[in-house]
Structure 1
Amino acid sequence: MRKLSRRPDQGPPLIFTMVWLIYLVFPLVSLFKQPLPELIEGLVVIAVFIVLYICGYLYERTRLFAVLGLIFITLLFCLKLDASGIYLAFYPTPIIGLLKSRRQTIIGYAALIALFAFDLVHWQVYLDQDQLVQLLPAMFVMLVMPIGFKLGKRSKELRQKLNLANEEIARLSKNEERQRISRDLHDTLGHTLSLITLKSELAEKLITKHPERATQEVKDIQATSRAALKQVRELVSGMNAVTIRLEVDHAKQILAAAGILLEQRGDLDSPIPSPLIDNILGMCLRESVTNVVKHSRAGLCRVELQREAGSLLLTIEDNGVGLLKKNGEGEQALSTCNGMKGMRDRLKLIEGVLAIEPVSSGQGTRLVFTVPVVEKAGKGDKS
């Protein structure tokens, strides 16, 4: 079954192409009306026809020979039976659309058109209006089918190139962001932390012999640490462009492009108490939506933000194949994946947790991000 369901280098899965062989029952019915010697010859020809049809999908090198062989056998059936034998040409026409070079495509089309012309002239179909009305639309469809396959193949190649380009852009963006953060940390904090280390060592040496100078050094350390804290806040503020609200808008565009409906629930528009929490949950939302697009094969994605006593709950749910089911492993093993591990590492900074669970309906995956929140007292409250 795996061999039948596997996808060839081009075209649909083999099991899908073999379904159409059921229509060979019509020429078989005509063959069984023939004498025994002709019946045996016909069955052998049908067997060769099936082999050529399957090889035409599986092997690129022999694809043109398979097309010509199928057209030749169709010609034999047209000669032996009647003009309706031309319907067997439905089998080689999709394979013509899979031919690699323009020269091979032209040869395949030429052979197909020659077959149509021979059938029309040999059986004088042009004199039979009813038969002409039956055959001409079928011939037109057969001529158009290779063009449709060519366009589908071209579209698939363009999508693959676009996906590769987007992945490369994302990789380069991540590397650039890492380098920027590394530079900022080195430039803003490296010198400051080195200064704090030197002054603390100096204060340790002076604390017994020159306590006044040691006290002054400690005061300098305090001032330097405050400056370092300010620098960290400035650095983090440059990363605060990622928020839940912005990521929901971004997710709507990404999911729509992938044909996935976004359903928003809860209190997504209200402000988050902490910019850091907003930033980290926004980044987790971005990673989760990316996983839905890449792996879930879902048609619907729900994003919900709930506020409970002392905590925030961000839930991302899809109705796809199910992350746990697809990976064939439990949550504990799944947590070692890079994406999940990255989200858990971010949540540790704000003491948050991530729970991965299947949807109750059995279809899809639910990610629940729980973050503790300390609400500030209002101005009218008394301490």
Structure 2
Amino acid sequence: MEKEYGGRPSGPPSIFSFIWLIYLVFPLYTFFDQPIDQIVEGLALLAVFVAMYLYSFRRLQGRFYCVLGLIIIIFIFCLKYDVSYLYFGFYPSPIIGMLRSKKQMVISMMAMVALFISVGWESKLYLDSHALIQLIPAVLIMLVLPIALRIGQRSKDLRERLNLANEEISRLSKNEERQRISRDLHDTLGHTLSLITLKSELAEKLVLRNPERAIQEVRDIQQTSRSALKQVRELVSGMNAVTIRDEIVHAKQILAAAGIVLDAKGDSNHVIPSPLIDNILGMCLRESVTNVVKHSRARTCSIELVEQPGILKLFVTDDGKGTDTVYNPAQSASSSPSTCNGLKGMRDRLKLVEGELVFDSAMNKGTRLLFTVPLVNKSVGEVEVR
């Protein structure tokens, strides 16, 4: 059984099949120079031609036989009425490029070539240089058009398959990274946390019976917890952390691909003192830009990073269609739309650094997201316990 090319019907939108029917008006005058019986016969053949043409444009089943039928009708028109009906070859030509298999396409193109040669020979077109000069370019276009459509559809299918493959690779990479993190956390922290739990239970039992031993166990717990903290830092440092600087570069690429102009304001190279804040704002920026591309229909998008005394602000603004939907942080994920789910996820990330999210949008007036996080002196965070 022959496979459908690309796994589905291909070709231009069906609206094109109606547009080209207007050109059927011009050759009709040749019918009315004939006797009444030949006029009826010609109009009946033309009606069959139109029906087969429209059907083949919309249906894959029987398309090959419709193409052959169209070529046969063109041959009859050329011999019975006028050789100019060869230009009707423009009707089956694009449909040949939409056929199910290469074999059907080759047979149809051979039938087209046979049509041109037989009509040209029967009508002695080779003796009329003026007619040949007019006809040869049209014939070449009719023969090249199916190949061009086939190549274009194949390129489109390859791009779609490549995008699907890239998405699958990205998904598998994320899953592998999650599994790696899970294994590392289990291997590095599982044993340590179990040890801390056992020693704390032992210290609780010894605190009254043997205070000195209990104190030693507490010191061991402190040392073990410091070791666990070091392991966590090593684990986190081994991950590829998302940064605002990297996400602005990525945003420029994805927005350009969507036809949206990026206006990056502020100092994107500004050094953020906390890697955690840099990572969280980078993830929020990624989610915001994704929403702009998917939902906004914007022409421009601006990203601005502003540092003020004690706080850091990140603005993401677009001039898209906006929305009248009011963002309710308390709305459940199951009942909220996908955009609100994204906003809720960003708000949950900001909670880790006591940040805030302000969502401002109105219908046909665009959308603005403001991320605000406090900047904390790093030296205040660590206190040594003795």
- CA contact 2:357–2:370 (8 Å) conserved in 1: yes
Distance 1:371 1:10, change over 3 A: same
Alignment of 1:253-264 (within 5 A): 253=253, 262-264=262-264
Deviation at 1:344, TM superposition (A): 4.7
1:304 correspondence with 2:303: yes
- CA contact 2:68–2:111 (8 Å) conserved in 1: yes
- Hey, what's the Cα distance between the residues in 1 that align with 2:322 and 2:170? 23
- CA contact 1:196–1:221 (8 Å) conserved in 2: yes
Task: Give 1:249's aligned residue.
Answer: 249
Letter in 1 for 2:117: A
Stretch moving more, 124-133 or 67-76: 124-133
In structure 1, runs of 5+ residues without a counterpart are 1-7, 379-383
- Hey, what's the Cα distance between the residues in 2 that align with 1:281 and 1:36? 80
- Hey, what's the Cα distance between the residues in 1 that align with 2:245 and 2:323? 28
Deviation at 1:305, TM superposition (A): 2.8
Q: TM-score, normalised by structure 2?
A: 0.80
1:315 correspondence with 2:316: yes
- CA contact 2:296–2:322 (8 Å) conserved in 1: no
Stretch moving more, 128-137 or 267-276: 128-137
Q: Deviations over 1:63-92 (max 9, x none)?
A: 210111111122222234322211211110
Question: Percent sequence identity over matched residues?
Answer: 56
Distance 1:212 1:183, change over 3 A: same
Letter in 2 for 1:59: R
1:118 correspondence with 2:114: no
Task: Give 2:163's aligned residue.
Answer: 163
Task: Give 1:201's aligned residue.
Answer: 201
Task: Give 1:349's aligned residue.
Answer: 352
Distance 1:162 1:194, change over 3 A: same
Letter in 2 for 1:311: L
Distance 1:340 1:132, change over 3 A: farther
In structure 2, runs of 5+ residues without a counterpart are 1-7, 329-335, 380-386
Q: How many corresponding residue pairs? A: 363
Task: Give 1:144's aligned residue.
Answer: 144
Distance 1:221 1:26, change over 3 A: same
- CA contact 2:359–2:370 (8 Å) conserved in 1: no
1:368 correspondence with 2:369: yes
Stretch moving more, 309-318 or 115-124: 309-318
Letter in 2 for 1:349: L
- Hey, what's the Cα distance between the residues in 1 that align with 2:348 and 2:75? 67
- Hey, what's the Cα distance between the residues in 2 that align with 1:24 and 1:323? 47
Q: Deviations over 1:128-181 (max 9, x none)?
A: 333222211111111110110110121122112212211221111011100111
Task: Give 2:41's aligned residue.
Answer: 41
- CA contact 1:188–1:231 (8 Å) conserved in 2: yes
- Hey, what's the Cα distance between the residues in 2 that align with 1:113 and 1:72? 12
Letter in 2 for 1:346: R
What SS class does the counterpart of residue 247 from structure 1 fall into? helix
